[in-house]
Amino acid sequence: MTYIADENRYTKMIYNRCGRSGIKLPAISLGLWQNFGHNNTMDNMRSMLHKAFDLGITHFDLANNYGPPYGSAEENFGKIFREDLKQYRDELIISSKAGFDMWPGPYGNWGSKKYLVASLDQSLKRMGLDYVDIFYHHRPDPETPLEETMAALDFIVRQGKALYVGISNYGAEEAEKAVKILKELGTPCLIHQPDYSMFNRWVENGLQQVLEEEGVGMIAFRPLASGLLTDKYLNGIPKDSRAAHNAWIKSSITKENVAKVKLLNEIAKERGQSMAQMALAWVLRKGHVTSVLTGASRVSQIEENVATLNNLQFSEDELTKIETILNS
């Protein structure tokens, strides 16, 4: 059957101005990092993208190495886009990135102009797109001059292969330098994508201030701390969970952290929210964050995440209790 988007989709979402640009992003965006590779079925991926757009999620976030394996998320997204979403192209914000290991040899990683330009060309081919809306440098490169990396982003925009550019995983000082270089080149930095959650608040130590002063938006990835800030691990690690097969995620599920989540979950219940919904609302609470980048493995998770928007307000008492738990 031909996919027809819900005609009421734009009544279900909040859209926030991205920095001082002309772009608004949905408060909830969908990341295709873990669940759009060959480890999923095409029917499930299709259903998730349909539901996301029906709920007003206009922003789909990818990267060259999303999968598994590398490149497969872009390939799968491209197939579904061609078959179902192409007629809605002008209603979508599609982003991709490059900066991590992608192919063998000295030109398949980090931040050289050679790598960034080639990677985006490959990404566009995989997705069947003429351009992406946002192209990010995925992480700082300690060896390539920042001027070269930013000049590559500027070049890509002037080629017409990206409308906007952004950076990800940059610290405050690096971000400030990158933003100023891009401004001088005439291609402003639209957005920064950092890791930010209740359990990872590094952006509050300078980065948020830099972005606000420079008029750059922020989209938070891992706002649920890879599932720790949900009810998934309150009673142990399920055998079918990501943590059961991922040592890095498992290492964060300590007795101390789970104890904190149990206390936070009680506050969430009092608010009429799930733990995940409260964690997303907390990241969005002050208006510093343009959008939260959420992952999903099934449709119901997307519906739950979007329902977060029904309650984004916190009382001073709630915030005090949350701070006390997080700092305990």
Are residues 274 and 231 in contact, defined by beta-carbon separation less than 8 angstroms? Answer: yes
Are residues 292 and 219 in contact, defined by beta-carbon separation less than 8 angstroms? Answer: yes
Give the residue among 170, 172, 188 at the shortest CA–CA distance from 180: 188
Task: Give, for 66, the enclosing helix (H) or strand (E).
Answer: none
Domain 13-227+287-311 fold: TIM Barrel (3.20.20)
pLDDT tens across the length of the chain (328 residues): 799 999 999 999 999 999 999 999 999 999 999 999 999 999 999 999 999 999 999 999 999 999 999 999 999 999 999 999 999 999 999 999 999 999 999 999 999 999 999 999 999 999 999 999 999 999 999 999 999 999 999 999 999 999 999 999 999 999 999 999 999 999 999 999 999 999 999 999 999 999 999 999 999 999 999 999 999 888 877 777 776 667 677 778 899 999 999 999 999 999 999 999 999 999 999 999 999 999 999 999 999 999 999 999 999 999 999 999 999 9
Q: Which two tokens stand for residue 141?
A: 């490169």
Are residues 19 and 217 in contact, defined by beta-carbon separation less than 8 angstroms? Answer: yes
Contacts of 218 (CB under 8 A, 6+ apart): 191, 192, 193, 194, 196, 203, 208, 211, 288, 289, 290
- The residue extents of the domains of the chain are 13-227+287-311
